[in-house]
Amino acid sequence: MKVITDKANPEFWLLSDPHLIADSLHDFGPRFEQMQATSAGKDITYQETALRAFVKKVVEEKPDAVVITGDLTFNGAKASAKKFAELFAPLKKAGVALIAIPGNHDIFDGWARRFEADQEYRVDQLSPRDWREIFSATYDLAESLDPNSLSFAVNLNPYWRLICLDSNIYGHQESYGHPITSGNLTDSERAWLTQELETGQKADQEMLFFMHHNLYDHNSVVHDGFKLNNAAELLALLKKYPVRCAFSGHIHAQHIMAKNVAIPEIVSSCFAETDQGYGVVKLGNDQLDYLRQTFDIDRYLTEQEKKAYPFNDFHSYLVKVFDGANDQLMEHFLTFDGTAEGQEAISLLKKLHWNFFTGQGNLTPAELDTLKKSATYQKLLQMGPNLRWYLNSLTESQESSQELTLTW
């Protein structure tokens, strides 16, 4: 049996949706600036430096593994995947396993481009074979490989099996279209997955499940393309076995569903967005502890990097980028009357968005009642009457998405 560690109580970190575009693929020119301005609230300009700093933290603290649940690249450029593997190469020497799972933007993405001045040019896309070769550090650890997809399973230690599903939909050759948002469990993957679950159960292993797409709807309004197309079928299979928790990404929002579900699911926020969130998972005897953390990037930047914008205050820069996406939303859906009350309503919407995407949207019934009765919330509804159901969805969670303890 291949194992990553013999520790009885291993620890791994979770990262999702870093969306790296290699610096070699852009020149900070006007076309790339336009891409950044329309990037839906995430930073795509400085992720090389941000991820290099994060790797320093990983090497310093040495969890047993780092699991990345998809969208390692911004647009599926082969050069970006190579750069990502290069950035994370120090993990191997530090004794930290890299477990890289593809997302919908990674394989045969027809949007793979480099940006120069006011133009963009097609570049080599990532094929499934490229992915396995570039992230061989992951696949060399595998106890089992699905021959028909990029799915695999690894043994974190003798008692814990991590099953990693390639949930993405892509063709057999380079694409000329946009990446497919939705995901699916194929018949061949189902057969492989069933065998893995059986093998884990016979070995008396606890199991954790990982994929890019979600097992559940984590927002009642915005969920099309995010939950796996045949999630009900997958859930029916998983719950027959000792799968203790599922982990995913894709929606860029931090969210946990653990109550009234067959299998708890933890969705990690986008590392390139908001506050650079990542997860820490500690496994014990019949227990799992999860805690969301914010990356303290300043500690891991060089003195020279700290002097240059935006790394002199990177988290403020990320707030600015996120607010830019808010402004675009408000232009489409809100009628601003120029009043102080209207400005307060806009600030409230920005706060609700931030709290939702960082997993802080859960309010007590009393807090929710106070919010919805407030003059500022009512003003927001007046300015954007078509947003009522969407606003409700931002505060519908009633459990913490910052931490979770599971026992069995």
SS (H, E, C) the chain: CCCCCCCCCCEEEEECCCCECCHHHCCCCHHHHHHHHCCCCECCCCHHHHHHHHHHHHHHHCCCEEEEECCCECCCEHHHHHHHHHHHCHHHHHCCEEEEECCCCCCCCCCCEEEECCEEEECCECCHHHHHHHCHHHHCCCCEECCCCCCEEEEEECCEEEEECCCECCCCCCCCCCCCCCECCCHHHHHHHHHHHHHHHHCCCEEEEECCCECCCCCCCCCCCCECCCHHHHHHHHCCCCEEEEEECCCCCCEEECCCCCCCEEECCCCCECCCEEEEEEEECCEEEEEEEECCHHHHCCHHHHHCCCCCCHHHHHHHHHHHHHHHHHHHHCCCCCCHHHHHHHHHHHHHHHHHHCCCCCCCHHHHHHHHHCHHHHHHHHHCHHHHHHHHHHCCCCCCCCEEEEEC
Cβ-based neighbour number of residue 373 at 10 Å: 9
Residues 187 and 68 in one domain: yes
pLDDT, residue 338, reads: 87
Q: What residue has token string 């915005």?
A: 222
Q: Into how many domains does the chain fold? A: 2
Residues 120 and 16 in one domain: yes
Residues 249 and 348 in one domain: no
Residues 237 and 155 in one domain: yes
The CATH number assigned to the domain holding 18 equals 3.60.21.10
pLDDT, residue 88, reads: 99
Residues 104 and 188 in one domain: yes
Alpha-carbon distances, residue 301 vs 52, 55, 178, 298, 304 (angstroms): 9, 11, 35, 6, 8
- Closest by CA to 126, choosing from 72, 162, 196, 89, is 72
Residue 222 lies in a domain: yes
Residue 2 lies in a domain: no
Return per-residue pLDDT of the chain as tens, 408 residues. Answer: 999 999 999 999 999 999 999 999 999 999 999 999 999 999 999 999 999 999 999 999 999 999 999 999 999 999 999 999 999 999 999 999 999 999 999 999 999 999 999 999 999 999 999 999 999 999 999 999 999 999 999 999 999 999 999 999 999 999 999 999 999 999 999 999 999 999 999 999 999 999 999 999 999 988 889 999 999 999 999 999 999 999 999 999 999 999 999 999 999 999 999 999 999 999 998 999 999 999 999 999 999 999 999 999 999 999 999 999 988 888 888 888 889 999 999 999 999 999 999 999 999 999 999 999 999 999 999 999 999 999 999 999 989 999 999 999
pLDDT, residue 330, reads: 83
pLDDT, residue 19, reads: 99
The span from the CA of 55 to the CA of 98, in Å, is: 11
Six token digits for residue 199: 């093998």
Residue 6 lies in a domain: no
**Domain residue limits at 347:** 310-394
Residue 111 lies in a domain: yes
pLDDT, residue 404, reads: 98
Cβ-based neighbour number of residue 108 at 10 Å: 23
Residue 305 lies in a domain: no
Residue 1 lies in a domain: no
Residue 169 lies in a domain: yes
Residues 277 and 216 in one domain: yes
Cβ-based neighbour number of residue 67 at 10 Å: 26
- Closest by CA to 206, choosing from 166, 150, 165, 263, is 263
Residues 205 and 103 in one domain: yes
- Closest by CA to 84, choosing from 25, 143, 147, 153, is 25
Amino acid identity, position 347? S
Residues 220 and 361 in one domain: no
Six token digits for residue 66: 């780092």
pLDDT, residue 398, reads: 87
- The angle at the Cα of 102, spanning 5 to 287, to the nearest 5 degrees, equals 40
With beta carbons less than 8 A apart as the criterion, state whether 218 and 257 touch.
Answer: yes
Bridge partners (DSSP) listed for residue 73: 20
Residue 144 lies in a domain: yes
Residues 341 and 195 in one domain: no
Residues 193 and 319 in one domain: no
Residues 155 and 283 in one domain: yes
Residues 123 and 74 in one domain: yes
